[in-house]
Amino acid sequence: MSRLFPERFRLALGRDYLLLAQVSRQRVRQLEQYAVDNAWGNADNTLRLSLLRSWLSQHLKPGARVEVVLSADLAPLQLLPWQEGITDAAQQSLLARHRLRLSHPQVEHWQCKVHPSAYGQPWLAVGADGTLLDGLRDMLSALGARLTSVQALSLSLYRELRASLPAHGWLLVREPHHSTLLHWQQGDWQLLQHLPNSELSGLHEVLLRERRLAGLDTDGLGDMASVHSIQSPPLTAVPGVHLRTVSWQWHGPLNPGYGLHLLGGRT
């Protein structure tokens, strides 16, 4: 491996999946898939990092650059309601951490990033367990690799696809056992919902319910044609929605329920 051109990897990390891809531009040159079990899904940070280090040590070479993409359960998203007295990123970040501590009391330290919106619109915030992030950085360093970025899966995919998306609609990001559903309008996030994949068969009713609960107009926005589902390759079909795929190229096998979109959007 050249020092000028170090090997680049994407690590897709979730409670119910784990993938490591060696990537070059839009091509996946090699793909390793960890056999996730209950020990992984129920592990605390110490055990998860120990399992991860043992697995990665078999695949990473010194000097490798690693980009991490976190699932919705490891990098939870939240919409912060607009408040006249809380209008800068630092204040919104404090609010986001407070809300995450209430909903995830088992996490001691949250790192949060907020995404400003237009006046009067909700702010989108993403959080991650600071202890896990520090552990990932130290673990990769001990293996001779370098952590170059950490991204939330849904936001990473949206960044790649947003130029091709319409002015408003729903973004459906599928993971093996659950999905994230986001509604955007004119570039601002309006609604956010996490749901088990078993509920996707009633997605039309979910869309209408979320709009009504938010007090927003439902005309046309319960229409399945306004949903853009990201799956590469297609997983369980949801009739009537637009299927969007990411630009990763890989022709080998994938574990059941996995998809290349779990690697995030190509940058």
pLDDT tens digits along 188-198: 888 899 999 88
Q: How confident is the model at residue 105 (pLDDT cuts 50, 70, 90)?
A: confident
Structure tokens at 112: 């949060």
Delineate the domains of the chain, giving CATH numbers in brackets: 8-73+129-263 (3.30.420.40)
Structure tokens at 82: 């607009």
| pLDDT value, residue 234 | 62
pLDDT tens digits along 78-100: 988 888 777 778 888 888 898 88
Tell me what the pLDDT averaged over the chain comes to: 86
Distances (CA, A) of 256 to 30, 176, 177: 18, 8, 11
| φ/ψ (deg, to 5) at 192 | -145, 135
Q: How confident is the model at residue 222 (pLDDT cuts 50, 70, 90)?
A: low
| pLDDT value, residue 235 | 58
Percentage of the chain with pLDDT > 70? Answer: 92
pLDDT tens digits along 22-72: 998 889 999 999 878 777 877 888 888 999 999 999 999 999 999 999 999
Q: How confident is the model at residue 147 (pLDDT cuts 50, 70, 90)?
A: very high
Distances (CA, A) of 5 to 23, 60, 64, 109, 247: 12, 15, 9, 35, 22
| pLDDT value, residue 223 | 65
DSSP 86: B
Compute the distance between CA of residue 134 and CA of residue 67 in angstroms, rounded to an integer.
14
| pLDDT value, residue 60 | 94
Pick from 157, 150, 191: nearest CA to 174? 157
